[in-house]
């Protein structure tokens, strides 16, 4: 089964919201209500402590602008940066500041569960992976067989889930292999043309299937695109029939 969603963030309304005293603006780019991917765009107001939580699916957070600070692991992120977690892998508390702007990308609806919930703590994925890095910490490399194009890894090759940024001049076709477990292709700069539609930052395409999708083609001014590919963990978790899942789904609905 091939899945393909194209989202132009410019056409989605913003909503002001708050959860647990934390205020933010949010766009629901993909709701996940059809069993497909869930994509949210958050701009948190400065806050010293967003509560620790976890989602019930794999997650890419793509920090487009601003800062996030964590007590553990990679302690400081600035846009552009990536933060990946497996399903049921908690993170935080964390601070947000300096014009925070972030995409939260799930392969399916993931809900949200505060780690203040002691039952949730017993369902933490003990072998779960958490990875974070700043784009500024990796070097651009020439893209083989593509003049004037370059790429950089946001996650080390072979890690499992993959994150790579490709920068190309106008009218370049960005062909990628099939994404068995799903892939977000996020426009960071310039534009891409997909299905005859031109989308700019931070619009994206989500593809999943055993066949490669049509290549994205960069627009008149070229384009920079982040390719964020899930691995098998994307099949795990999700909003199933358990009570924790119901609570996670309700909490997410309340938040956004």
Partner 1 sequence: MTETTQQAAPLRVVVFADFVCPYSYLAVDQIDRLAREYDVKPLWRPHWLHPETPLEGTPREQTPDSAAKRERLHAWVKEMAPEQYPRIRFPERRHYSFLAFEALEFAYDHGRDAEFKTAVYDVMWTGGGDIGKPETLMAAAERSGLDPDELGEALHDRSYAQRALDACNQARTIGITNTPTMFLGRTRINGWHYYEVLESVLQKQGVRPRETATAG
**CB of residue 95 vs partner 1: minimum separation in angstroms?**
5
Among residues 4, 28, 69, 129, which is the contact residue for partner 1, using CB under 8 A?
A: 69
Comparing CB distances to partner 1, the nearer of 139 and 243 is 243
Comparing CB distances to partner 1, the nearer of 93 and 201 is 93
Among residues 35, 71, 99, 242, which is the contact residue for partner 1, using CB under 8 A?
A: 71
Comparing CB distances to partner 1, the nearer of 97 and 138 is 97
Q: How far is it, in rounded angstroms, from Cα 108 to Cα 30?
A: 10
Collect all residues with Cβ–Cβ distance below 8 Å to 14 and sequence separation of at least 6.
25, 26, 27
Distances from the Cα of 97 to the Cαs of 78, 253, 256, in angstroms? Answer: 10, 24, 20
Q: How far is it, in rounded angstroms, from Cα 184 to Cα 173?
A: 17
Comparing CB distances to partner 1, the nearer of 116 and 173 is 116
- Under rule CB under 8 A, which residues in 42-61 are in contact with partner 1? 48-49, 51-52
Residues in the chain: 256
Comparing CB distances to partner 1, the nearer of 115 and 193 is 115
- Under rule CB under 8 A, which residues in 125-154 are in contact with partner 1? 126
Please tell me the count of residues contacting partner 1 according to CB under 8 A.
Answer: 18
Q: Which residues pair with 179 in a beta bridge?
A: none
Element of type H or E holding 56: none
Whether 35 contacts 105, CB under 8 Å: no
Of 97, 102, 8, 101, the residue nearest 61 (C-alpha): 102
Q: Is 212 in the site for partner 1 (CB under 8 A)?
A: no
Task: Report the interface residues with partner 1, using CB under 8 A.
Answer: 48-49, 51-52, 69, 71-73, 93, 95, 97, 115-116, 118, 121-122, 124, 126
């Amino acid at each position: 089964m091939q899945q393909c969603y194209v989202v132009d963030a410019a056409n989605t309304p913003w909503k002001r919201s708050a959860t647990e005293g934390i205020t933010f603006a949010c766009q629901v780019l993909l709701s996940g209500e059809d069993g497909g991917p869930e994509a949210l765009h958050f701009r948190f107001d400065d806050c010293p402590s967003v509560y620790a939580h976890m989602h019930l699916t794999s997650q890419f957070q793509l920090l487009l602008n601003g800062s996030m600070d964590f007590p553990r692991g990679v302690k400081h992120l600035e846009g552009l940066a990536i933060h990946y977690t497996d399903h049921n892998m908690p993170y935080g508390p964390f601070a947000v500041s300096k014009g925070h702007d972030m995409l939260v990308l799930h392969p399916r609806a993931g809900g949200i569960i505060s780690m203040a919930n002691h039952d949730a703590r017993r369902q933490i994925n003990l072998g779960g992976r958490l990875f974070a890095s700043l784009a500024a910490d990796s070097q651009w490399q020439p893209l083989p067989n593509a003049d004037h194009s370059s790429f950089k890894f946001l996650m080390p090759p072979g890690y499992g889930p993959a994150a790579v940024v490709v920068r190309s001049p106008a009218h370049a076709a960005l062909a990628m292999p099939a994404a068995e477990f799903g892939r977000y292709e996020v426009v960071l700069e310039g534009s891409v043309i997909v299905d005859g539609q031109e989308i700019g930052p931070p619009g994206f395409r989500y593809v999943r299937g055993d066949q490669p999708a049509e290549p994205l083609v960069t627009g008149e001014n070229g384009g920079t695109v982040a390719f964020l590919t899930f691995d098998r963990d994307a099949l795990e978790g999700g909003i199933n029939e358990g009570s924790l899942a119901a609570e996670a789904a309700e909490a997410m609905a309340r938040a956004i």
